[in-house]
Amino acid sequence: APPLARRQNSTDWTAQEWDVIVVGAGTAGIIVADRLSEAGKKTMLLELGGPSYGIVGGTERPSWLDGTGLSRVDVPGLYKSIFSTPDSELLCPADVVSAFQACTIGGNSAINAGLYFQPPASDWDNYFPAGWKSADVEEATQRLLAKQPSVTSYSVDGKYYLQSGYDAAEEWLVKGAGFSHVSFNEEPNNKDRVFGRPVYNYIDGQRGGPTRTYLQSALKRSNFRLQTGVQVQRINHVGGVASSITAKVDGSIITVPLSRAGRVIVSAGAIASPGLLIHSGIGPSETLAKLSAAGFISNSNSSAWVANPAVGEGLFDNPNTYIELTGSTIESYAHSYDDPITADKDLYLSSRSGPYAFASQTSAFWGYVDNDDGSRTGVQGTIDSSGYADFTDNKTITLNIYGTSGLKSSGRVILSSEGKFIPGPSSDVYYNDPQDGMSIAKFIHTIFQALPASTPDSPAVAGLTPLNIAQNSTVEEIYTYITTWSKYAVGSVQHWSSSCRIGKCVDADTKVIGTMNIHVIDASIVSPLTVNPQFGVMVAAEKGSERVLKTWG
């Protein structure tokens, strides 16, 4: 039987009262449930999706993984295949969120690339309120790293694979543009004109993350229970005092009660968490009135609602641009879901080594742009092993470049008006402040200047040539390119965050402002970071758990 069958608290779970009900067994929710159950709280972790990794019973896999105990989730090199399998059981159904997100054990940590970059201390110091500065989250960060270490050497044989793009990028950015070579997990605070190898959360050549670490310790406790296939529909509360949650399980509606002094922790992700609060009568008054008029808030006694205008406000995602690069030394590599090259498949299966031991990013780099108003905009580049869209010949690789911390643009979580009020992003998340596009354009312009003069028709002999945007473009031309929608620009990277910020939507204890015992701990409470969000989300889960436990007295 899969390890889930070992979970200890197996008496009727809807008839019991729980000290903690965590909504969503995703990246943050698993960590919170593990830490609160470790502290003795009777903890129920509710997840709407099903199994993912082999270790929790996941079986979605190509035939070459038959008999291995691995699912597609476990194999890092199958990362990109999720984008071409929209019917995957791992993804959220259309009536849950209007975005490309995972609804499965592990949440997005079960489908992401596994990039695991520690945010620089300046992110906490500049963009988080008192109680969440870098010194405040230091212990939480160390607890996280003790449970889930970071790796740059992903292949168990200790070698690096698919390195032609790495070598060319190093030549360009370190020798050409003067960036320094940095080991990102050893020097997380240095993000100013730095280049290096990606850092991952893999474990022994397989996907890591909370499911393989924190969930495994939680599953051993008798005061913990994970229940999958449970779609939480609302939190039942009067004036912010929650007593239970209502959920749909196998088509039936059930109620799960909280104990006295119990807490609901919403960890459904940056889009679904605000959605669940609003469906529970907690959010901007106007939105609540609209849902109520349509019969969508069952508790239609508006005096029981909690008006909190910041629920859903500030939703962020990195604005990104794909830049296709070619060069005479480049050998591109595209991972295959069904039919990998035999030698590569064998190398992975026999020793967790080779191209399938990583998600295809060969290098990463960062820089900041100083703006006239004194602010600083972070920019990140990640270089992949293959081309994309109209540029997929065997000498092309893709640079994904995006704006990060310090951006001024953000949107909000909106509820679709087509009758079901499904949460999704507003249309103005990217570049609604023109400064953002200008800062990123300036950065791209600067690094393009460090490339040889080169055009696709008459490429330089040595070095990389951009294919979809000219190497000699002006800042204005780059600005127009990156802010105009195409297959290469203004696409979503699905790094949703910041939709229920600390100090505005929740307090420093992660409690939703205006409520007594309802918390949000997930990407919603994390401000835009200089790095990919997962590491920061996990720190927030460690720190949030600590803060919640302290409020128990």
Ligand X SMILES: Cc1cc2nc3c(=O)[nH]c(=O)nc-3n(C[C@H](O)[C@H](O)[C@H](O)COP(=O)(O)OP(=O)(O)OC[C@H]3O[C@@H](n4cnc5c(N)ncnc54)[C@H](O)[C@@H]3O)c2cc1C
Cβ neighbours for 284, distance < 8 A, ≥ 6 positions apart: 278, 307, 308, 309, 311, 312, 313
**Closer Cβ to ligand X, 345 or 511, answer by number:** 511
**Closer Cβ to ligand X, 34 or 522, answer by number:** 522
C-alpha distances in angstroms, 343 versus 339, 346, 350, 447? 11, 5, 10, 37
Length of the chain: 553
Gap between the Cα atoms of 261 and 6, Å rounded: 28
CB of residue 535 vs ligand X: minimum separation in angstroms? 6
If you search the block for the tokens 């009727």, which residue do you land on?
12
Strands (E), 349-473: 361-370, 376-384, 396-403, 411-415, 423-425, 465-466
In sequence order, which ranges of 400-515 are alpha helices (DSSP H)?
A: 434-449, 475-483
**Closer Cβ to ligand X, 35 or 495, answer by number:** 495
> Backbone dihedral region of 115: left (phi > 0), alpha (psi from -120 to 50 degrees) or beta?
beta
Burial of 6 (C-beta count, 10 Å sphere; 0-12/13-18/19+): exposed
**Closer Cβ to ligand X, 47 or 170, answer by number:** 47
**Closer Cβ to ligand X, 51 or 437, answer by number:** 51
CB of residue 218 vs ligand X: minimum separation in angstroms? 15
> Backbone dihedral region of 435: left (phi > 0), alpha (psi from -120 to 50 degrees) or beta?
alpha
Reference 278, options 290, 264, 267; nearest CA is 290
Gap between the Cα atoms of 380 and 475, Å rounded: 18
Residue nearest to ligand X (CB): 26
Locate 285 and state its tokens: 């008054």
**306 assigned binding-site residue:** no
CB of residue 342 vs ligand X: minimum separation in angstroms? 28
**533 assigned binding-site residue:** yes
314 three-class SS = strand
Give me the residues that bind ligand X (CB under 6 A), please.
Answer: 23-29, 46-49, 96, 100-104, 107-109, 111-115, 230-232, 267-270, 272, 276, 494-495, 522-523, 532-535, 537
Burial of 75 (C-beta count, 10 Å sphere; 0-12/13-18/19+): buried
**274 assigned binding-site residue:** no
Q: Which residues, in sequence order, are bridge partners of residue 157? A: none
Angle between helices 134-147 and 534-551 (to 10 degrees): 110
C-alpha distances in angstroms, 40 versus 11, 22, 302, 386? 18, 15, 36, 48
Distance, first Cα to last Cα, the chain: 40
CB of residue 30 vs ligand X: minimum separation in angstroms? 8
CA quadruple 9, 14, 16, 19: dihedral sign: positive
CB of residue 226 vs ligand X: minimum separation in angstroms? 11
Indicate the residue type of 477: E
**Closer Cβ to ligand X, 466 or 544, answer by number:** 544
Reference 538, options 24, 3, 15, 32; nearest CA is 32
In sequence order, which ranges of 25-90 are alpha helices (DSSP H)?
A: 27-38
Locate 456 and state its tokens: 């696709």
C-alpha distances in angstroms, 415 versus 80, 91, 103, 545? 29, 19, 19, 29
CB of residue 532 vs ligand X: minimum separation in angstroms? 3
Q: Which residues, in sequence order, are bridge partners of residue 180? A: 194
Q: Which residues are annotated as a binding site?
A: 232, 533-534
Q: Which residues are annotated as a binding site for FAD?
A: 232, 533-534
